[in-house]
């Protein structure tokens, strides 16, 4: 397995690198930080619903969609990212998504502990302090013939910048986001009163991963990898990829008698689920699912949407359809169950009905 210890990379290269290596089938651990800030959007998210695109453009902060799940986040040089790539058929690695997170989280957890922070893994995909404050978020998924696992060590964090890049209904809500992040997300600086050097932290992180995975062969970026990254950058920052899910729909809109469009939100244990759904004669006519959950294999989310068409608006029938599809395709979505999809679909319909009755 290769080790790409890349220091700080310009622009969006810190995110493009693991996408490129996965497509090339190169098994590796990458240790990297962005040289300048950028915004990373989760694969299943709706960019225009989650991120304040206008603010990013006005502030000169680039943004891109990644090919793993999780939420939109603000990245900068105060974060050290660990990105692991391995081939799906490699027998040395866990095969089940829910086993991957705790297995690979051991190295960053031990890194924090080395510097005196009592951290531990918490399902589904967080590392937290003994007080329960989040100090790292992680994500994973499949790209090409490989699996990837990504996360970051938080030396420090710009809470203000993070609150500004998110799409929120008003400034009062933004203030709430900022305060909630400050209360629930911590960093090495806040825990220790200062920041160890990047080199010190990176050295411990590499050592802990090597203990877990064996000796690495050091590698560097070559023309072939850089060419692949450049090719991917054009695609991953294109409007087609960035805005592939843009259901600009309010909570409920009546098109005609018996036909309505709803926009559902539900916070499952494994992440936020969004659903833009067209309902006709009390059945699902069409539906688009997005959010910051993990869904593997990712290409089957479209199939789940298709399988839900024509299903009656009854919780037990939606749950049964989702479970049948999961079993048929071998789907894994840690912390997101069939009932969570049913609640996402049904809650806005009930709320819309109640609002109509009040009116």
Does residue 247 register a pLDDT over 50?
Answer: no
Count of CB atoms situated within 10 Å of the CB of 217: 8
pLDDT class of 71 with cuts at 50, 70, 90: confident
Looking at residue 356, what is its pLDDT?
55
* Distance (Å, whole) CA 10 – CA 201: 20
pLDDT class of 351 with cuts at 50, 70, 90: confident
Q: What is the pTM of this model?
A: 0.86
Give me the CATH code for the 2-242 domain, please: 3.30.930.10
Looking at residue 354, what is its pLDDT?
65
What does pLDDT average to over the chain? 92
Tens digits of residue pLDDT in 160-191: 999 999 988 788 888 988 988 999 999 999 99
Count of CB atoms situated within 10 Å of the CB of 161: 14
Q: Would you list the DSSP string of 216-272? A: PEE----HHHHHHHHHHHHHHTSHHHHTS------SEEEEETTEEEEEEEEEETTEE
pLDDT class of 70 with cuts at 50, 70, 90: confident
Does residue 343 register a pLDDT over 90?
Answer: yes
Does residue 251 register a pLDDT over 70?
Answer: no
Q: Would you list the DSSP string of 264-332? A: EEEEETTEEEEEEEEEETTEEEEEEEEES---BSGGGHHHHHHHTTT-BS-HHHHHHHHHHHHHHHT-B
Phi and psi torsions of 311, nearest 5°: -80, 135
* Distance (Å, whole) CA 113 – CA 103: 16
Return the CATH number of 252-358, one of 3.30.390.50, 3.50.30.30, 3.40.50.80, 3.40.190.10. Answer: 3.30.390.50
Looking at residue 169, what is its pLDDT?
75
Tens digits of residue pLDDT in 182-235: 999 999 999 999 999 999 999 999 999 999 999 999 999 999 999 999 999 999
Share of the chain above pLDDT 90, in %: 77
Does residue 355 register a pLDDT over 60?
Answer: no
Does residue 113 register a pLDDT over 60?
Answer: yes
For the segment 295-318, the average pLDDT, to the nearest whole number, is: 96
User: Same topology for domains 2-242 and 252-358, yes or no?
Assistant: no
- Report the length, in residues, of the chain: 359
């Amino acid at each position: 397995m290769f080790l790409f210890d890349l220091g700080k990379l310009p622009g969006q290269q810190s995110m493009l690198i693991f996408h490129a290596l996965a497509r090339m089938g190169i098994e590796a651990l990458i240790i990297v930080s962005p040289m300048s800030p950028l915004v990373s959007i989760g694969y299943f998210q709706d960019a225009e619903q989650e991120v304040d695109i206008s603010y990013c453009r006005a502030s000169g902060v680039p943004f891109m969609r990644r090919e793993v799940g999780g939420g939109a986040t603000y990245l900068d040089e105060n974060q050290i990212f660990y990105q692991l790539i391995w081939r799906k058929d490699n027998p040395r690695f866990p095969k089940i998504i829910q086993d991957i997170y705790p297995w690979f989280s051991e190295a960053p957890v031990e890194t924090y502990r080395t510097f005196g922070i009592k951290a531990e893994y918490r399902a589904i995909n967080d590392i937290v302090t003994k007080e329960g404050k989040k100090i790292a978020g992680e994500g994973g998924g499949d790209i090409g013939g490989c699996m990837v696992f990504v996360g970051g060590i938080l030396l420090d964090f710009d809470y203000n910048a993070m609150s500004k890049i998110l799409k929120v209904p008003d400034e009062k809500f933004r203030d709430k986001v900022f305060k909630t992040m400050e209360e629930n997300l911590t960093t090495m600086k806040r825990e220790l009163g200062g920041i160890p050097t990047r080199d010190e932290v990176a050295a411990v992180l590499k050592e802990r991963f090597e203990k877990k995975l064996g000796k690495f062969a050091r590698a560097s970026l070559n023309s072939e990898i850089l060419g692949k990254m450049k090719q991917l950058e054009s695609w991953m920052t294109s409007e087609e990829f960035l805005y592939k899910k843009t259901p600009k729909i309010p909570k409920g809109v009546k098109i005609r008698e018996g036909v309505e469009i709803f926009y559902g939100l539900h916070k499952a244990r494994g992440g936020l689920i969004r659903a833009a759904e067209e309902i006709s004669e009390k059945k699902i006519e069409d539906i688009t699912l997005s959010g910051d959950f993990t869904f593997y294999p990712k290409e089957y989310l479209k199939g789940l949407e298709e399988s839900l068409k024509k299903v009656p608006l009854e919780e037990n029938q939606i749950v049964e359809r989702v479970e049948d599809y999961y079993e048929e395709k071998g789907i894994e979505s840690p912390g997101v169950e069939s009932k969570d999809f049913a609640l996402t679909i049904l809650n806005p319909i009930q709320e819309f009905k109640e609002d109509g009755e009040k009116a």
